Structure 1
C-alpha cells in the first residue's frame, strides 16, 4: 500500500500526553473521493487524531500521509492540499460573507473569481454582502465550508458540520457534502448523528479509548443479526427482555442455554442500526 494511492493513510499513530494515551497505535486508509466517517464518544481520541492528520500536532510515534504529504515533514505542502472546518464558527461577524472569503482568498493567493464559485457552490449567492452576524447557524456553517474550499483542497476535514442545525439546514449541508464527493473531494467526517453517518459515509471507523474497534462500510457494520427475546428469568418467575447478537459466540451459547432450559417465551428479529452497533462495541452512547 503506497501513500500516493490513498487520500489518507495512517500507520501506527500514537499520541500520549504526560503518560496518558490519547491515541493508541491506530492504522487506517481512506480511498480518494470517499466520505470517511470517524465516530467515537467524547474523549475517545477523535480530536487528537484530526490534529495529527492536519499537521497541528506531532505524533508521539507512527506516521500518516494526507493528500500525499507526510503530516510531520511536509506540513507546508499539506496545508495547501487540505481544508478544515471545525465545530467552532470562527468567522468575522462584522464583515460580510464575501469579505470573509476575500480575506482568506488573499491568504491562499487564489483569484477573486473563485469566491463567486464557492458562494454558488454552497448556495449563498444573494446573501454574500450581508454582515455575517445576521446569518443563521446554517448559513455560517456553509460559509465555513466555502472558506475551506477556496484553494480547492484534495481532502476536507469536517468536524460535526450539522451539529445544532435545524433539519432543513442540516439537509442542505449534507447535500453540499454529497456534491463535494461527486467532484472528487475526499471527506473526513466526524458526527454525533448515526443516521447522518449511515446516509453519507462510504466507510466508518469507530474509535474508543484511543483504539479503532471497528472499521467497515455502514452496511457491513450493520450486518449483525440481533434477536429480541422475551424470557422467564432464570432465578425469578417474572419476564425479562434480552437482546442477543447471532454473530457473537457467547450470545449463541446463551441462546442455546435459554432454549434448553425452556426459559424463552418468544423470539423476534431486530433490524440493526449503527447506534445499536456503536453501543454494543463501546458500551455507551455516542451522545452523552
Structure 2
C-alpha cells in the first residue's frame, strides 16, 4: 500500500496572551503510520491536537489534514477523522450501546460494527450500562470505540490508555496495530515513553512547546547511546555489566565457547532517558 502524507505541519506557533504554547513546530504524518507526539503534561500536546482538528486557530504557520488546511476543515473531513481526548463527550444518560448506536446512525455505519467494537474494547458485557455508571477506564474505552466506528483515515489519540488496566491497554494496542495495517494514520500523544516505544513508527519529543528531537524510537535510543555497555547473565545466575571493549569481547567469547552465556543485552537508553538527557526534566 503506497503511503501518502495525511498530516502536514509547517512552522506552526500558538500564543495565549503573553504565553507561547507552541514554537514553530514542523512535522508530517503518513498513512499507515503511528506518530508519537511525546512530552510531559503542559508541553503543548493537546493544544496541537486542537489546532489539527480545527478546534483552535494557530497564531502562525500552516497545517493541513487530508490535504485540507485546518482553517477550512469541514464536515467531509470530520467524517474521515476520529478523536479521543479527555473531554470527548458522551451522552451520560444513555447506555453504552445506545451511545454507539446514535453515532453509528450519524456516521452511516452498519449497526453490526457496534458489537464487534464493544467486544474488542472489553465493553460488550457492559453494553446496557448507562454511560454515567462507567469507571474512568471504561469511559475511555467507550470513547475509543466511538472514534473507531467509521474506520477513520486519521485517528487522534490524546493519552488513549490513561486509566486502563494492562490487559485492556494491550487489547487497545492490538486494535491500533490493525488500524495502522489498514492504512489509518494515528497521531498519538502520551507521556508514557514505554507505550510510545512499543507502538510508534516515529516520534517527536516535545518540551515547552518546542520539538527537541524526532525520529524512530530505536534510532533515537541508538543516537544517544554514548556509553555502550552490555548486560550479561550466566548459567550460574551471575550478572555483569560490561563496557564496550576488547576485554569484554574476549570474556563474552569465552562464556559462549563454554556454553555459560544465558542472555546478553545492549544497554542503550530508553526514550524516557533520552528525553531527560535533552531537557533535564521528567515526564509528569
Task: Report TM bin, short chain.
Answer: 0.7 to 0.9
Moved over 6 A (4+): none
Structure 1: gaps of 5 or more residues:
230-268
1:71 matched to which residue of 2? 70
- Is the contact between residue 11 and residue 24 of structure 2 (CA under 8 Å) also seen in structure 1? yes
Segment of structure 1 superposing worse, 80-89 or 210-219? 80-89
Question: Secondary structure, in 3 states, of the residue corresponding to 1:7?
Answer: strand
1:283 matched to which residue of 2? 280
Segment of structure 1 superposing worse, 170-179 or 24-33? 170-179
Segment of structure 1 superposing worse, 31-40 or 71-80? 71-80
CA shift for structure 1 position 117: 4.2
Q: Structure 2 matches for 1:86-125, cutoff 5 A?
A: 86-88=85-87, 90-125=89-124
Question: Secondary structure, in 3 states, of the residue corresponding to 2:123?
Answer: coil
Kindly provide the CA deviation profile for residues 165-192 of structure 1, in whole angstroms up to 9, marking residues without a partner as x: 2222222222222222122211111112
CA shift for structure 1 position 123: 4.6
Q: Does 1:46 align with 2:45?
A: yes
1:24 matched to which residue of 2? 23
CA separation of 1:89/1:57 partners in 2, compared to 1, >3 Å: closer, same or farther?
A: closer
2:175 matched to which residue of 1? 176
Question: Secondary structure, in 3 states, of the residue corresponding to 1:28?
Answer: strand
Q: May I ask how many residue pairs the two structures share in their alignment?
A: 245
1:188 matched to which residue of 2? 187
Question: Secondary structure, in 3 states, of the residue corresponding to 1:101?
Answer: helix
Kindly provide the CA deviation profile for residues 31-88 of structure 1, in whole angstroms up to 9, marking residues without a partner as x: 1111000011222211111110011111112111112222112333321221100024
Q: Structure 2 matches for 1:154-173, cutoff 5 A?
A: 154-173=153-172
- Is the contact between residue 71 and residue 78 of structure 1 (CA under 8 Å) also seen in structure 2? no
Counterpart-to-counterpart distance in 1, 2:18 and 2:34:
33
Counterpart-to-counterpart distance in 1, 2:212 and 2:138:
35
Kindly provide the CA deviation profile for residues 144-177 of structure 1, in whole angstroms up to 9, marking residues without a partner as x: 1111122221000111111122222222222222
Counterpart-to-counterpart distance in 2, 1:119 and 1:68:
32
Q: Does 1:55 align with 2:54?
A: yes
Counterpart-to-counterpart distance in 1, 2:110 and 2:46:
32
- Is the contact between residue 10 and residue 25 of structure 2 (CA under 8 Å) also seen in structure 1? yes
Q: Does 1:272 align with 2:269?
A: yes
Structure 2: gaps of 5 or more residues:
230-265
Counterpart-to-counterpart distance in 1, 2:228 and 2:5:
41
RMSD: 2.3
Kindly provide the CA deviation profile for residues 200-221 of structure 1, in whole angstroms up to 9, marking residues without a partner as x: 0000001112211111000011
CA separation of 1:136/1:168 partners in 2, compared to 1, >3 Å: closer, same or farther?
A: farther
CA shift for structure 1 position 270: 4.3
Question: Secondary structure, in 3 states, of the residue corresponding to 1:227?
Answer: coil
Provide the TM-score with structure 2 as the length reference: 0.78
2:254 matched to which residue of 1? none
Counterpart-to-counterpart distance in 1, 2:138 and 2:175:
12
Question: Secondary structure, in 3 states, of the residue corresponding to 2:28?
Answer: strand
2:140 matched to which residue of 1? 141
2:225 matched to which residue of 1? 225
